[in-house]
Chains A and B, each alone.
Chain A
Amino acid sequence: MIFKKAFAFIKRSYMLQMSYKLESILRLFFMLFNILTYYFVAKLVGTAGAKYLEPYGGDYFSFVLIGIAFSTYLMVSLRGFSETIRDEQMMGTLEAMLVTPTDTATVITFSSLWSFIFASIRVLLYLLVGILLGVNMTNANLLGALIILILTILSFSSLGILAASFIMIFKRGDPINMMFMSTSELFGGVFFPIEVLPWWLQSISHLFPMTYSLSGMRHALLQGYSLHELLPEISTLVIFSLILLPLSLFIIRFAVKRVKEEGTLVQY
């Protein structure tokens, strides 16, 4: 039944998105320019950063392609849940959903499923264009990449659910979103290896799930690391998920209880 319900949310979101066809096409189309920008930046950089890029295969374009592709999931997670709540509040559909037997946590999490699917389509396009531009993934460990991806989505989603809890109570000004959106690109290793940072900034990087997610993904896709070799990233992401997921679910339940007590559920 849970899969049928998930499918119902995906179908609804898909139909809504397809009612704005031009927007969907443009979003995918203009993404290509983003990739091309980094392709030429990589040409400019050449082998200048080879020392730092060595653990990831030595090629800057491959490095940054994986970075921008998979950081999409963080953006979707951080924005997806809170934007879902806000959109449903503004459309006026939130109450109509919450008066059904489907519980609030399911409504919030399943409403964001389509965003993850659309993000996955974008990531696949990134990788496909990357391969066409010369990125070598012939040795990729797809199973390892899939495990990292699932753990990435779990840990990023937990942050997104935490962000949604803040939005639910405070309506605007969510610190989780602001903090991770503004710092993850710096500390998470999206555009450059964290080894470039001074040691004290590197220690901050280790507090971000993005660091392990991107590192694991690069090792799995570009260098074909085995599951055993990916164990440090996998185990750290498991720890992040085990801590963040129950915490976020607890906090969103608290947030729902609080707004139902205050009667502010549909305010925005």
Chain B
Amino acid sequence: MQVREGEVFGLLGPNGAGKTTLIKILCTLIFPSAGTARVNGYDVLKESKKVRESIGYVTTDERSFYWRLTGRQNLEFFANLHNYYSSRARERVFELLEIVNLENRADDPFLSYSAGMKQRLAIARGLINDPRVLFMDEPTRSLDPKAAQSARDFISSYIVREQEKTIFLSTHNLSEAEQLCNRIAILDEGKIKIAGSPQELKSGLGNGSTLSDVFSSYSGRKLEEEILPKSSFMKERRQRHAGGFGGMRRRGM
């Protein structure tokens, strides 16, 4: 499996397919039992530190923050772990808080944040070191449909179009995969069944096929699809102060 620079690559599969395990291997959190993997040209086993220097990791686990610290304190600590210190760390955190539209709640404890705000802070943390590749493990899993759509809009408009990052994301949400990804790999029981653009995969099965059909065809099982609300990206942007992502201004990162 290869991911091209600048693309959004989606790993699609049901719970337990191995999506998180693969992401953790690529983030050097788990060692592979066999085979090799390279991220940004670095071997995940032999050059793990260089891998970690060049990636960001966004997890849905809201427990991955210190709940009694503020959003700003959390980000500054993780900036320090990325070797950003003093004013450089403070400036970077200030910038990121603005980008994810949390500047007004930056000094509130993390425990007072809504699920959407927690996820925005997780994305801000993933961007601290201005990584070339961003790994996102089911980035909208714990969000309500509106917040999930807002997060997807932010990912596609800011992280992909403005920042031109390579994104490797896992999801079991077919709409999300179709909306965000240039290419998709269908993963089931730890094996890549097929990879290609959503269009290629669907057209391979004939007219009118959906990604759900593609998944069923290659895995022999159904993948439940989340029902999404009708929500437009521009509408979300206009409502940025209502609690969504915002501040997508170019900062020359």
Contact = CB atoms under 8 A, between A and B. Distances in A.
Given A101-B52, A265-B30, 20 more contacts: A1-B85, A5-B81, A8-B81, A12-B66, A12-B69, A12-B73, A16-B66, A16-B69, A91-B66, A92-B62, A93-B65, A95-B64, A96-B59, A99-B29, A99-B57, A100-B78, A101-B81, A102-B83, A261-B31, A263-B21
A206 interface: no
Contact of A101 (B49, B61, B67, B68): B49
A99 B55 contact: yes
A264 to B, nearest CB: 9
Interface in B58-93: 59, 61-69, 73, 77-78, 80-83, 85-86
B78 A96 contact: yes
A257 interface: yes
Interface string A11-23: 1100110011000
Contacts of B85: 1, 4, 8
25 contacts: A4-B80, A11-B77, A12-B66, A15-B69, A19-B68, A20-B68, A91-B63, A91-B66, A91-B67, A92-B61, A92-B62, A92-B63, A92-B64, A93-B63, A95-B29, A95-B61, A100-B52, A100-B81, A100-B82, A101-B49, A101-B82, A101-B129, A102-B82, A260-B28, A263-B24
A99 B80 contact: no
A5 B80 contact: yes
Given A95-B64, A260-B30, A101 B53 contact: yes
A86 B122 CA distance: 22
Interface of B: 21, 24, 27-31, 33, 49, 52-53, 55, 57, 59, 61-69, 73, 77-78, 80-83, 85-86, 125, 129
B33 to A, nearest CB: 7
A165 B21 CA distance: 23
A15 B73 contact: yes
A36 to B, nearest CB: 33
A103 B49 contact: yes
A101 B84 CA distance: 11
A20 B66 CA distance: 13
A98 B64 contact: no
A131 interface: no
Contacts of A93: 63-66
A102 B48 CA distance: 11
A97 interface: yes
Given A8-B81, A96-B125, A99-B27, A261 B33 contact: yes
A125 to B, nearest CB: 25
Contacts of A92: 61-64
Contacts of A102: 81-83
A99 B28 contact: yes
B149 to A, nearest CB: 25
Given A101-B52, A101-B82, A96 B29 contact: no
Nearest to B62: A92
A12 B78 CA distance: 10
Contacts of A12: 66, 69, 73, 77
A3 to B, nearest CB: 10
Contacts of B31: 257, 260-261
Contacts of A95: 24, 29, 59, 61, 64
A95 B53 CA distance: 15
Contact of A265 (B29, B52, B64, B68): B29
Nearest to B50: A101
B138 to A, nearest CB: 14
A101 B55 CA distance: 10
Nearest to B54: A101
Contacts of A260: 28-31
A4 B84 CA distance: 10
A20 B109 CA distance: 13
